[in-house]
Copies of this chain bind each other. A is one copy, B any other.
């Protein structure tokens, strides 16, 4: 079962890389580009920046205190991608492990002297995740041994006591290692790390203890808060612990924290974490489009969490949020050439960014960069795209559920299915039975798809000719099911309504008052202005029905708008609420995930009305 998350119980069982293969299409192409380009790109930069050299003992040590974790994330990506460079890189890492299992190129001489900022347990977490990936894809080898020795060291050192790490991730890593090996102490160690948090376990810092979720026990929290990646990694680990220990109350706590976060602290793109200062969630309804931080890694963490909650509960809302985040955050985070990345993902950019060939020190999100001082996002994207098939479908005792509609082949319980679709550009999804068998097939109908239809088209044969064409029935948001048995050639045809739609913000989101956005299918759209195109500073959109255009294998939209001519102006607060007229324009909207691929640009998701 080649899967990053493999709970021993829950409503749904995930199907792994051994059961799902992506075919050419939106995600299949991205996964291929990741395997062929992005993984090598990351490896080259980590070598160039000296972060791999740190494991060889090269001096002076280079990179931030947590740079080891980048190599581990890359190793995880390589494990899922079955990449030929993995053994050599794993061997380099292994050389740095000490006799008792300790491994860290920064703190080797001064172990565990800074739990707040040291990231030692965080680094182990990513090492263990890489080890689990390797174990499941390949079986035991050097990398899995290093990971297990590190995990054993952690259990010996931390099973008793009150300590934990300033940056969560080891919690979910240890649970997964328990799932992969059956060794119960890993689960117990994870459980203790979860329960220690907020007692408190860490020192107070200028950002406040909420920054690393140490302000209160996880069971008492009502919403995700503090540093977004930390909060979402922790929540993922908490779900894992809750599922494996059967702790319903703990699971419910995370569910209700998620619910409030979705309602009040999430951007339209699925992005989370509004603030630049401490990369944190802001307060409820603090969702500025321009200064939205929306770290790419936080969106990956949000996908990881939603996936866990989906498996645990079977609730379609988690899959809906995962889809929104996949198409509008993960797909945005990496350029169409696979070699540059967004760290921050604002929804409004006023001033075109200055192109940058090298390392980006201040990732504001105006242009994708090849690398960052803190380069978590590229490696996180790489490991996520490499394991993406595992998010597509799940199984229950009575059948298969397809959560994400993308060209793919799915095998489970004797059934083999081929999913064919031009989604997200078209709304037609055909599930073709390649090898017949028993079972109920469920297809997710996204929340926005209020007029979807489903047809079950049995294979036509001389013995059982199709009577008068398929029976088409409405399919409400949620899961639409068709029962078997199935014969090779049977088809299910889902039609999702793809008309572009205007979307309005809750009136409590102050920063978006008086504006609206356009969505189509799972995609958020934005206006983008590059080079000599008119700037978007004084834009007023009219709520005309968006017109569709096929451009470069994507769908672009056009709405009516007026654009004012920028002028200097004086004191900008006056007794007049008058609106200056601008010139009428046809405003082109591109999928948000494609913005910033044509050079420095200004951009707006939310259009003033």
Q: Which residues of B contact A514 (CB under 8 A)?
A: 513-514
Q: Which of A459-505 contact B (CB under 8 A)?
A: 501-505
Q: Contact flags (1/0) for A248-290 with B, using CB distance below 8 Å?
A: 0000000000011011101010000001110000111110111
Q: Is the CB of B571 within 8 A of A447?
A: yes
Q: Is the CB of B538 within 8 A of A508?
A: yes
Binds B, one of A57-65, A550-558, A574-582: A574-582
A537 CB-CB contact with B under 8 Å: yes
Give which listed residue, B264, B282, B283, contacts A569 with CB less than 8 A: B264
A141 CB-CB contact with B under 8 Å: no
Residue with the greatest number of chain B CB neighbours at <10 A, chosen from A517, A568, A573, A579? A573
Q: Is the CB of A572 within 8 A of B286?
A: no
CB distance from A498 to the nearest CB of B (A): 15
Known: A283-B350, A514-B513. A570 touches B507 (CB 8 A): no
Residue with the greatest number of chain B CB neighbours at <10 A, chosen from A208, A362, A580? A362
Known: A350-B286, A577-B504. A513 touches B515 (CB 8 A): yes
User: Please, how many angstroms separate the alpha-carbon atoms of A517 and B277 in the complex?
Assistant: 28
User: Please, how many angstroms separate the alpha-carbon atoms of A268 and B574 in the complex?
Assistant: 10
A134 CB-CB contact with B under 8 Å: no
A96 CB-CB contact with B under 8 Å: no
- Chain B: CB-nearest residue to A608: B513
A291 CB-CB contact with B under 8 Å: yes
Copies assembled: 2
CB distance from A479 to the nearest CB of B (A): 18
- Chain B: CB-nearest residue to A208: B362
Q: Is the CB of B350 within 8 A of A268?
A: no
Q: Which residues of B contact A262 (CB under 8 A)?
A: 570-571
Give which listed residue, B263, B361, B513, contacts A571 with CB less than 8 A: B263
Q: Which residues of B contact A88 (CB under 8 A)?
A: none
Q: Which residues of B contact A508 (CB under 8 A)?
A: 537-538, 572
Q: Contact flags (1/0) for A293-305 with B, using CB distance below 8 Å?
A: 0000000000000
User: Please, how many angstroms separate the alpha-carbon atoms of A600 and B342 in the complex?
Assistant: 38
CB distance from A504 to the nearest CB of B (A): 4
Q: Is the CB of B259 within 8 A of A568?
A: yes
Q: Is the CB of A572 within 8 A of B510?
A: no
Q: Is the CB of A504 within 8 A of B573?
A: yes
Q: Is the CB of A263 within 8 A of B537?
A: no
Q: Contact flags (1/0) for A420-458 with B, using CB distance below 8 Å?
A: 000000000000000000000000000100000000000
- Chain B: CB-nearest residue to A516: B577
Q: Which residues of B contact A574 (CB under 8 A)?
A: 503-504, 506
Q: Is the CB of A511 within 8 A of B288?
A: yes
Q: Which residues of B contact A206 (CB under 8 A)?
A: 361-362, 373
- Chain B: CB-nearest residue to A580: B507
CB distance from A571 to the nearest CB of B (A): 6
Q: Is the CB of B506 within 8 A of A573?
A: yes
A207 CB-CB contact with B under 8 Å: yes
- Chain B: CB-nearest residue to A511: B511
Q: Contact flags (1/0) for A330-367 with B, using CB distance below 8 Å?
A: 00000000000000000010110000000001100000
Q: Which residues of B contact A503 (CB under 8 A)?
A: 573-575
A199 CB-CB contact with B under 8 Å: no
Q: Is the CB of A573 within 8 A of B517?
A: yes
User: Please, how many angstroms separate the alpha-carbon atoms of A259 and B571 in the complex?
Assistant: 9
User: Please, how many angstroms separate the alpha-carbon atoms of A355 and B516 in the complex?
Assistant: 38
User: Please, how many angstroms separate the alpha-carbon atoms of A506 and B573 in the complex?
Assistant: 6
A531 CB-CB contact with B under 8 Å: no
User: Please, how many angstroms separate the alpha-carbon atoms of A262 and B571 in the complex?
Assistant: 6
Q: Which residues of B contact A504 (CB under 8 A)?
A: 573-577
Give which listed residue, B263, B373, B570, contacts A568 with CB less than 8 A: B263
- Chain B: CB-nearest residue to A447: B571
User: Please, how many angstroms separate the alpha-carbon atoms of A277 and B501 in the complex?
Assistant: 35
Q: Is the CB of B572 within 8 A of A263?
A: yes
A-B contact pairs, 10 of them (CB 8 A): A263-B568, A266-B572, A275-B291, A502-B575, A505-B573, A506-B574, A508-B537, A513-B513, A513-B608, A514-B514
Q: A259-B570, A276-B276, A509-B572 are in contact. List 14 more A-B contacts (CB 8 A).
A: A260-B568, A263-B570, A263-B572, A277-B277, A283-B290, A284-B351, A285-B537, A288-B291, A288-B511, A348-B510, A504-B574, A508-B572, A510-B606, A514-B514
